[in-house]
Amino acid sequence: MFIYKAAVVGGGAMGAEIAQVISYSGLPVILKEVNDALAQKALEKIRHIYQGRVDKGKMTPADLESKMSLVQVTTRYEDLKEVDLVIEAVPEKLDLKKQVFKDLDAALPEQAILATNTSALSISALAASTKRPEKVVGVHFFYPAHVMKLVEVIPGLTTSEETITDAVTFCESLRKFPVRVNECAGFLVNRLLMPYLNEAAFCVEEGSATFQKVDKAMVEFGFPMGPFVLVDTIGLDVCHDVVGVLLEEYGNRMRPAKIWGEVHSKGRYGVKSGAGFYNYSGDGEDKTLEEIMKKLEPGRPSKKAPFSASRLLLTMINEAALCIQEHVSSPSDIDLAVLAGIGFPQAKGGILQYADQVGIDAVLSELEKLNEIYGDRFFPAPLIKRMVKAGFLGEKTGRGFKEHL
């Protein structure tokens, strides 16, 4: 199905940016908000993004006006009756989203696709609140949506292949990199990222490294920023919610390090609150964090592994293997997702490409060693064991997660 006109419901942090991305691709877009003031605010935000491009000499003022003419705002669902695809971006509350889906189902033409930008809610549950469950799909943009290239396209239990293809093609037309992710808690990026961030926290909590040492090691590996700077940037509150969802679904292997809860409970949400794992208030002294570290000291494990960058990466490799096993995503989409969504070093080609370079037998032996010390969170994915038995050892045997000709 060709998308001639799209809509976005909710013009907050994500919705306004998504509407900008759609208009930038040359497609008319209508943005629905709850009242005129918020609709105008969203419109201003879209203009502000374009103005940034004009200021950098990347577009002319005339181009700006031409793109803005593609954007309409409204407060009424009736105005969405001619759109082919809508992206819902209202706050992350299931009941609210279900109501929005019911209203969209009633207002939009029957062939229209209803997409959601939810970070963690079930696509299948949202689909069930409509009379067109085969037309409901997750289209998960990353913040800031006008910058980040990755979009997770998430079919639910009832989404048709046609809807998935249309959603993927639509994202490509926006010059994004869509990856198909079959529905699971955390989808793909958060599911791979959180164990990595959590391991960073365990290393510090147990006294194997300082925050600075961990961050420096991961930057040296090639990440644009270390895990603690990343959490402080995303927001500890946001990460805390995601970790909760993962723990509920996957159990003990996603058990968060205690330090997360301690820092979170002090209202330290990261850059936006002035402090998180680091202090951004400028006074240098950070008694609170010192006290947290002291409080956690008695709980430190007696047996522990030394800190290494590979310890953090192994959690990501193992989770990626579980995702492949569960048919959540393909190896090439997983590598694209970590490159475009997590900032994995481009030169290393992605987490699975990296695992293939290291050798799958070496990955398994390291996981087994760490599993003996730490238990569940390093329990090797059965796929990794199977690959080693079959001689799929990575680059050195021509085949691992990927083929190496």
Name the minimum Å distance from CB 148 to ligand NAD.
Answer: 9
Name the minimum Å distance from CB 397 to ligand NAD.
Answer: 39
Q: 29, 74 in Cβ contact below 8 A?
A: no
Nearest residue (beta carbon) to ligand NAD: 12
Q: Is the Cα torsion angle 370, 375, 377, 383 positive or negative in sign?
A: positive
- Nearest residue (CB) to ligand NAD, 116 versus 318: 116
Name the minimum Å distance from CB 62 to ligand NAD.
Answer: 30
Name the minimum Å distance from CB 349 to ligand NAD.
Answer: 26
Query: How far apart (Å, rounded) are the C-alpha atoms in residues 51 and 64?
Result: 7
- Nearest residue (CB) to ligand NAD, 37 versus 390: 37
Residues 48, 140, 146, 240: which is the catalytic one? 140
Name the minimum Å distance from CB 18 to ligand NAD.
Answer: 9
Could you count the other beta carbons within 10 Å of the beta carbon of residue 281? 10
What is each CA distance from 145 to 17, 86, 168, 237, 319, in whole angstroms? 6, 16, 16, 20, 25
Name the minimum Å distance from CB 2 to ligand NAD.
Answer: 26
- Nearest residue (CB) to ligand NAD, 117 versus 353: 117
Instruction: Classify 151 as helix, strand or coil.
Output: strand
Binding footprint of ligand NAD on the chain (CB under 6 A): 9-15, 32-34, 38, 89-92, 100, 117-119, 141-143
- Nearest residue (CB) to ligand NAD, 11 versus 256: 11
Query: How far apart (Å, rounded) are the C-alpha atoms in residues 334 and 361?
Result: 20
Query: How far apart (Å, rounded) are the C-alpha atoms in residues 308 and 275?
Result: 26
Residues 6+ apart with CB under 8 A from 177: 149, 150, 151, 171, 336, 340
Query: How far apart (Å, rounded) are the C-alpha atoms in residues 190 and 194?
Result: 6
Could you tell me the two tokens for 21? 């991305």
- Nearest residue (CB) to ligand NAD, 90 versus 370: 90
- Nearest residue (CB) to ligand NAD, 130 versus 208: 130
Name the minimum Å distance from CB 329 to ligand NAD.
Answer: 18
- To which H or E segment does residue 138 belong? strand 136-141
346, 361, 344: which is closest to 397 by C-alpha? 361
- Chain-centroid distance of CA 17 in Å reads 16
- Nearest residue (CB) to ligand NAD, 143 versus 221: 143
88, 86, 111: which is closest to 99 by C-alpha? 88
108, 50, 102, 60: which is closest to 84 by C-alpha? 108
Q: 84, 113 in Cβ contact below 8 A?
A: yes
Q: 239, 194 in Cβ contact below 8 A?
A: yes
Q: Give yes or no: 146 in active site.
A: no
- Nearest residue (CB) to ligand NAD, 64 versus 148: 148
- Would strands 136-141 and 150-155 be described as parallel, antiparallel, or unpaired? antiparallel
Residue located via tokens 């208030």? 281
What is each CA distance from 24 to 27, 73, 158, 372, in whole angstroms? 7, 16, 31, 52
Name the minimum Å distance from CB 7 to ligand NAD.
Answer: 10
Residue positions annotated with a catalytic role = 140
